[in-house]
Amino acid sequence: MRIGPQTRLILGSASPRRRELLASVGLPFVVLPSDVDEATRTGERPADYLERIVAAKLAGVLEILASARSRDASLGGILVADTIVVAPDGRLLGKPKSDDDARTMIASLDGAAHDVQTRFSLAPCDPGDGPSFAQTVTTRVTFRRLAAGELDGYIACGEGRDKAGAYAVQGRAAAFVESIDGSYTNVVGLPLCQVVAAMRRLGWLT
Which residues are identified as catalytic?
82
- Separation CA 3–CA 10 (nearest Å): 11
| Helical H segments across 28-165, by residue range | 46-67, 99-109, 150-157
Q: Are 101 and 120 in contact (CB under 8 A)?
A: no
Q: Do β-strands 29-31 and 8-11 pair in parallel, antiparallel, or remain unpaired?
A: parallel
The three-state secondary structure class of 167 is coil
Q: Do β-strands 75-86 and 8-11 pair in parallel, antiparallel, or remain unpaired?
A: parallel
Q: Do β-strands 75-86 and 29-31 pair in parallel, antiparallel, or remain unpaired?
A: unpaired
CB atoms within 10 A of CB 164: 24
